[in-house]
Amino acid sequence: MVGLVVDQMRWDYLYFYQKEYGEGGLKRLLNNGFSFENTLINYSPTVTAIGHTSAYTGSIPALHGICGNNFWQNDKYIYCCDDSTVQSVGSQSKQGQMSPRRMLSTTIGDELRLATDFRSKVIGVALKDRAAILPAGHSANAAYWWDSSVGHFITSSYYMKTLPTWVEKFNKENQKAPKYDIKKSNEGVTITFKMAEAVLENEGLGQGDETDMLTVSISSTDAIGHAYGTRGKENHDVYMQLDKDLAHFLDVLDQKVGRGNYLLFLTADHGAAHNYNFLKEHNLPGGAYDYKKAVKDLNNHLQKTFGIKPVMGEDNYQFYFDDA
C-alpha cells in the first residue's frame, strides 16, 4: 500500500494543468483509478498536521488529538510532534526530537501492523517531520524527514538508535548545503520521491509475505504555494515536476512490486485560497487576517467587561483561553 499526500494540492489542479501532464503520472491515476470528487472535509481548520492525521486515521481532531500544527495543551504552546524524551538520529539538532505520541488514535499502518502481528513494514517519508511521522503512525518501523540545518534526511530515537547504512549512503549522495531551503524548490519534490524509491529498494517493501505500507508526502508544493500563490509560473512548474516524478515513481513500483500488486491513493492535506495580493492586483476584494490584533482587541474587550485578559493566543482562527 502506498499513501501519497501532496501538500496544499487543490483538487482542481488535476484538471487545471491537465493538458500539460504526461501520460504516466497524474493522468495515469485519473485514467486507471477512481476519483472521489463528491467529498467533504468534516473538520476545521485544514492544516498540514490535521490533514495528514485525519487522512490516515479516518478520524477528526476532536478524537485523534492533533488539532493544529501548533496548539495549546494544558495552557502550554506546543508543536504537534515535539517530544523532548527522544533524540535526533542523523544530526545534532533538535529537528529530530519528534514522535507521534501526541496523536491519540491509530493509523491505517498501525492497524496493518496489528493485523499481521507486526510482520508488515510501515515507513513514512517527507521533507516535513509531521508529514512523515503522523501518517506512518505509532508502531511504524521508521519515519524519515529533512533536517535543513544539516541538509539531509534524519529520524528520531523513537524509531531507532542509528540511521541504516543505506540512509547514510543516500544522504552522502544527495547532500545539500546546510540551511538551503529545499522545501521551496522543485528539487524538494524529486528528492522526496528518490528517498521513497530508496526505501522500497533497501527495505524490500512489497517483497515479503505480508502487506507493507509506504507513506509519502510532498511538502514543496505547500512551501511554493505559500510563497508564490496558487497561480503563476512557480506553481505551474512544481506541478509539472510532481507529474514527472510521480510517473517515475509509479514505474519503479511496477518494477519492484508489480503492476496490480499495490494499492496507491493520492490525496491532499488541504487546499489553498488565492493569495490576497494576487486578488488585489486584479481589483478583486481580499485581505489578510491580523491574528495578533485580534488577540489584543479581544483581551482589551474582556478586560473592560470582566477585568481579565484570558486569551493566551490564536492559531488557525481558534482562540486559546488560559484555563487557570
Give the cell for residue 275: 493569495
In contact, 139 and 122? CB cutoff 8 Å: yes
In contact, 78 and 72? CB cutoff 8 Å: yes
In three-state secondary structure terms, 215 is: strand
- DSSP run (H or E) holding 63: helix 61-64
Q: What is the CA radius of gyration of the chain?
A: 21
Give the cell for residue 66: 492533533
- DSSP run (H or E) holding 67: none
- DSSP run (H or E) holding 88: strand 88-89
For the beta carbon of residue 261, count every other beta carbon within 10 angstroms: 10
- Catalytic residue from among 48, 107, 155, 221: 48
Residue 135 DSSP label: H
Judged on CB neighbours under 10 Å (0-12, 13-18, 19+), 224 is buried
In contact, 109 and 56? CB cutoff 8 Å: yes
Indicate if 190 belongs to the active site.
Answer: no
Which residues does the annotation mark as catalytic?
Answer: 48
